[in-house]
Amino acid sequence: MSYNSKIDPTEPFPEDLSTLDDCALHVLNSKVHRELDAEYLRGGAEMETEFRRDELTEELNRRVANEHRRGLSGTVSYLEHAI
């Protein structure tokens, strides 16, 4: 089995990102961003890849907002860690 660090726009993509655990969501986010980088180098991003990035951003933001609402200030959120 080979590992690909990108996800092509034609490859299957989860319909409901809320079912993924945090680790799987971050891996998928990384693969989509690496695919976007490759597409930009080839001349422009595919609409599907941009849509996937937006979906992932929404889910990550939703999780961060839920974390803050629950008052889990001791945990470092994904967005805070990325900065």
Residues contacting residue 15 through CB under 8 Å, at least 6 positions apart: none
Query: pLDDT tens digit string along 2-28?
Result: 778 999 999 999 999 999 999 999 999
Report the interhelical angle of 47-69 vs 22-41 (nearest 10°): 150
Residue 1 predicted with pLDDT over 70: no
pTM over 0.95: no
